[in-house]
Amino acid sequence: QQQVKQSPQSLIVQKGGISIINCAYENTAFDYFPWYQQFPGKGPALLIAIRPDVSEKKEGRFTISFNKSAKQFSLHIMDSQPGDSATYFCAASNRGGSARQLTFGSGTQLTVLP
Partner 1 sequence: DAGVTQSPTHLIKTRGQHVTLRCSPISGHKSVSWYQQVLGQGPQFIFQYYEKEERGRGNFPDRFSARQFPNYSSELNVNALLLGDSALYLCASSLSGSTDTQYFGPGTRLTVL
- Binder to partner 1 among 7, 11, 27, 32 (CB under 8 A)? 32
For 73-96, give the DSSP string.
EEEEESS--GGG-EEEEEEEEEEE
Please state the separation of Cα 103 from the chain's center in Å: 12
40 makes contact with partner 1 (CB under 8 A): no
Please compute, for residue 90, the number of CA atoms within 13 A of its CA located in the half-sphere on the CB side.
29
66 makes contact with partner 1 (CB under 8 A): no
Least distance from partner 1 to the Cβ atom of residue 80, Å:
22
- Binder to partner 1 among 42, 55, 67, 68 (CB under 8 A)? 42
7 makes contact with partner 1 (CB under 8 A): no
